[in-house]
């Protein structure tokens, strides 16, 4: 059997989020809003507080903190970045933490009644992530997953494409593609909802810094390490012209929350 195609450079992702860990919560407004969306779906499901829950790609532990406030007392957080886990552990002293990759979970089969994830599986092969979630869920268990889908950061995509640099932009799957991954993994009652959120900036520097400081740079396995300076300056010129014309710069995020059930038998 062939191994799933490796799409992303996990060492690069780990480094990006290690560097972003201590400042992440101050900058991640869209990600915090997505965590709120995931929590809302979990609360509406009316699961027992004793349900064992794992947060995959838990980052600094914001969603875990909210789950604890909602009454869930048996929580585990998993992330690829140890520095993110260090921050999460400080905020969630009662939770258990495990360092690991969503595409190869160091967790036992059928061990959780609830799997949550927020702003994480866009860094994964979605099909592999869905299969791993299915594996660790107990029969009848529920997955509630927030992720970014196409056309997230469409302003970046348009700028890079105009400059012939389209392969340098992080590829976001469509909602249908993500949902199909969960169908294919064996989940039932797969449903999703989306909302578009925008973040405005008053300078090109602030916009670039926001993406970089959140660890949200492209991490494709095939990407070269750095933009050529001439390409970077061309991007700056593009956005400076847009800022002059529009008076502000915006980045849009297509935020999706997907729910799915592992069949009871």
List CB contacts of 265: < 8 A, sequence separation 6 or more: 139
Is residue 216 pLDDT above 70, yes or no? no
Instruction: Give the chain's mean pLDDT.
Output: 87
pLDDT of residue 13: 64
pLDDT of residue 77: 97
pLDDT of residue 162: 84
pLDDT of residue 211: 72
Digit-coded pLDDT (tens) for 95-134:
999 999 999 999 999 999 999 999 999 889 999 999 999 9
59: left (phi > 0), else alpha (psi -120 to 50), else beta? left
pLDDT of residue 3: 40
Residue 94: count other Cβ atoms within 10 Å of its Cβ: 9
User: Using the 8-state DSSP alphabet, how is residue 65 labeled?
Assistant: H
Is residue 221 pLDDT above 80, yes or no? no
pTM of the model: 0.87
Provide the percentage of residues in the chain whose pLDDT is more than 90.
Answer: 65
Is residue 219 pLDDT above 60, yes or no? no
Contact 253, 211 (CB under 8 A): no
pLDDT of residue 21: 60
Closest CA to 14 of 94, 104, 80: 80
Mean pLDDT within 3-14: 59
pLDDT band at 138; cut points 50, 70, 90: very high
pLDDT of residue 209: 78
Digit-coded pLDDT (tens) for 20-62:
666 666 667 888 999 999 999 999 999 999 999 999 999 999 9
CATH of 10-149+173-198+254-261, one of 3.40.50.1100, 3.30.70.3270, 3.60.15.10, 3.40.50.150: 3.40.50.150
DSSP 68-128: HHTT--SEEEEES-HHHHHHHHHH-TTSEEEE-BTTB--S-TT-EEEEEEES-GGGS-HHH
pLDDT of residue 117: 97
Widest distance between CA atoms in the chain: 59
């Amino acid at each position: 059997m062939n191994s799933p195609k490796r799409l992303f450079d996990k060492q690069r992702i780990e480094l990006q989020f290690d560097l972003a860990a201590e400042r992440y919560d101050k900058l991640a407004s869209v990600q915090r809003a997505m965590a709120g969306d995931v929590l809302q779906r979990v609360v509406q499901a009316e699961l027992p507080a004793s349900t064992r829950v794992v947060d995959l790609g838990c980052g600094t532990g914001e969603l875990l903190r909210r789950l604890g406030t909602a009454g869930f007392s048996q929580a585990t957080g998993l992330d690829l970045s140890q520095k993110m886990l260090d921050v999460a552990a400080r905020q969630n002293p009662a939770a258990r933490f495990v360092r690991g990759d969503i595409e190869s979970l160091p967790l036992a089969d059928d061990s959780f009644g609830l799997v949550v994830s927020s702003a994480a599986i866009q860094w994964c092969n979605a099909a592999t992530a869905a299969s791993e979630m299915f594996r660790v869920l107990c029969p009848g268990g529920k997955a509630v997953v927030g992720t970014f889908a196409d056309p997230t950061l469409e302003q970046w995509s348009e700028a890079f494409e105009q400059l012939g640099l389209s392969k340098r932009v992080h590829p976001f799957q469509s909602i249908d593609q993500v949902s199909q991954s969960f169908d294919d993994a064996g989940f039932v009652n797969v449903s999703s909802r989306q909302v578009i959120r925008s973040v405005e900036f008053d300078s090109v520097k602030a916009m670039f810094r926001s993406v970089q400081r959140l660890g949200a740079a492209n991490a494709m396995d095939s990407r070269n390490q750095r933009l050529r300076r001439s390409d970077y300056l061309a991007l700056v010129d593009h956005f400076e012209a847009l800022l002059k014309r529009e008076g502000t710069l915006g980045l849009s995020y297509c935020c999706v929350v997907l729910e799915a059930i592992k069949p009871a038998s």
